[in-house]
C-alpha cells in the first residue's frame, strides 16, 4: 500500500499528459496540414495557431515534462540520508561527551536566558565550529533510542521509514519517501517542473476548455473529446493551486534555511527555551538567502539540473563542522 499514492500520482500525470497531447496538441497540428476534405476527423474547436507556436510550445512543454519525470523518479528512489554507522554517532547507553571550554561556552549560549553577551557575528563564528549544536533541554546531545545513535544536527527519526533522516524536512506519502539531505533538491525541482507543466496545460488548453460548455450535439464526440478535456483541465487547475502553495512555502523554507519540521516545531514553538535554543543553533546553518539556496540546489548552473548539488555550503548532511576551519573559542570577541 505504500506505493499506492506514488502510483496514483503517476496515473494522474499520465492522464493529463495524454489528454493535453491527444486532445490539444495533435489537433492543432492536424488543423495546419489537413482539411475536412481528406476524411480525417479534425477537432474544429482547437485554436488555429502557426507551426512555430505549436513547435515552441511542444518543445518547451516536453522539456519540462521530461525534467518532471526525472526529478520525480529521483525523489522517489534516492534515499533521503541516514546517520553514518561510525563510532562517532554510536550510542552505548550513556553520553560520554568530554568536557571542554567550547562545550561549556555552547551550553552558556544555549541556556535561556543567555549567559553570555557577545555580538551576532561572534556567536555565528563560534556556532559554525561546533560539531553538534542541537541539544535537548538538559543541553545533552540528542539520542535516538530506536536507532541507538546520537542525532546529528537537523536529524529526526521517521516512524514511516523507521530510520533517522539527515536534515529531515518531512515524510511525503506521494513519493513514498522522506525528503532529506540527499533528495531535497530533487523534491524541490519536482515541485517547480510540475508547476511549469501545469502552467503550459492551463494556458494552451484554455481555448479548448471553453468549448466544453457549449450545447452538446454529439454524444460520441462529447465522451471522446469534451469530457476528457474538461476533467483534465479541472484536475490540472486543482494541482496547480496545490503546487503553487506548496512550492511557495518551500521557497520560503529554503531561502531561510528551514525545514518543515523546524518551521512548525521550533521556530513557531510556544516554549521560549526551545525557541531560544533554535535561534542560536540556526546561526550555524544559515548562509544568507543566496547561500541557503546554493546549500540545497548547488552552484547556480546546477539549479535546474537533476544532479547532486555541489557547493562550499553542502556537507555530508551531519553538519558536524568538519568542513569549517576550527576556531579557538577563547579567541572570539565576547
Catalytic (active-site) positions: 172
Strand-pairing partners, residue 221, are: none
Helix, strand, or coil (residue 317):
coil
- Which cell goes with 129? 565550529
Axis-axis angle for helices 227-255, 184-204 (nearest 10): 140
Axis-axis angle for helices 227-255, 4-20 (nearest 10): 120
The dihedral sign for the CA sequence 315, 277, 143, 154: negative
**DSSP annotation string for 126-141:** HHTT-S---B-TTSSB
Q: Evaluate whether 9 touches 169 at the Cβ level (below 8 Å).
A: no
- Which cell goes with 98? 568530554
Q: Are strands 143-144 and 177-179 parallel, antiparallel or unpaired?
A: unpaired
Q: Evaluate whether 19 touches 232 at the Cβ level (below 8 Å).
A: yes
How far is CA 199 from each of CA 164, 239, 328, rounded to the nearest angstrom? 37, 10, 53
SS3 per-residue string spanning 247-298: HHHHHHHHHCCCCHHHHHHHHCCCCHHHHHHHHHHHHHHCCHHHHHHHHHHC
Amino acid at each position: 500500500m505504500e506505493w499506492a499514492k506514488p502510483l496514483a500520482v503517476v496515473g494522474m500525470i499520465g492522464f493529463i499528459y495524454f489528454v493535453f497531447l491527444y486532445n490539444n496538441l495533435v489537433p492543432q497540428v492536424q488543423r495546419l496540414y489537413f482539411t475536412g476534405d481528406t476524411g480525417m476527423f479534425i477537432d474544429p474547436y482547437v485554436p488555429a495557431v502557426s507551426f512555430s507556436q505549436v513547435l515552441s510550445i511542444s518543445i518547451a512543454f516536453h522539456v519540462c515534462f521530461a525534467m518532471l519525470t526525472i526529478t520525480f523518479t529521483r525523489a522517489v528512489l534516492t534515499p533521503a540520508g541516514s546517520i553514518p554507522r561510525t563510532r562517532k554517532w554510536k550510542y552505548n547507553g550513556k553520553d560520554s561527551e568530554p568536557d571542554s571550554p567550547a562545550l561549556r561556552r555552547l551550553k552558556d549560549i544555549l541556556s535561556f536566558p543567555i549567559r553570555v553577551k557577545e555580538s551576532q557575528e561572534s556567536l555565528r563564528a563560534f556556532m559554525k565550529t561546533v560539531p553538534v549544536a542541537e541539544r535537548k533541554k538538559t543541553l545533552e546531545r540528542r539520542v535516538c533510542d530506536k536507532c541507538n545513535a546520537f542525532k546529528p544536527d537537523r536529524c529526526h527519526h521517521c516512524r514511516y521509514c523507521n530510520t533517522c533522516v539527515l536534515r529531515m524536512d518531512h515524510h511525503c506519502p506521494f513519493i513514498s519517501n522522506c525528503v532529506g539531505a540527499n533528495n531535497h533538491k530533487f523534491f524541490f525541482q519536482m515541485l517547480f517542473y510540475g508547476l511549469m507543466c501545469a502552467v503550459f496545460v492551463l494556458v494552451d488548453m484554455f481555448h479548448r476548455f471553453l468549448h466544453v460548455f457549449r450545447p452538446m450535439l454529439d454524444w460520441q464526440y462529447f465522451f471522446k473529446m469534451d469530457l476528457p478535456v474538461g476533467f483534465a483541465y479541472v484536475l490540472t487547475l486543482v494541482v496547480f493551486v496545490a503546487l503553487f502553495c506548496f512550492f511557495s512555502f518551500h521557497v520560503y523554507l529554503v531561502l531561510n534555511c528551514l525545514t518543515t519540521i523546524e518551521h512548525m516545531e521550533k521556530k513557531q514553538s510556544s516554549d521560549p527555551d526551545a525557541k531560544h535554543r533554535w535561534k542560536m543553533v540556526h546561526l550555524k546553518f544559515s548562509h544568507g538567502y543566496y547561500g541557503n539556496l546554493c546549500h540545497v540546489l548547488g552552484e547556480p548552473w546546477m539549479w535546474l539540473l537533476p544532479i547532486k548539488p555541489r557547493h562550499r555550503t553542502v556537507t555530508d548532511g551531519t553538519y558536524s563542522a568538519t568542513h569549517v576551519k576550527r576556531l579557538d573559542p577563547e579567541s572570539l570577541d565576547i
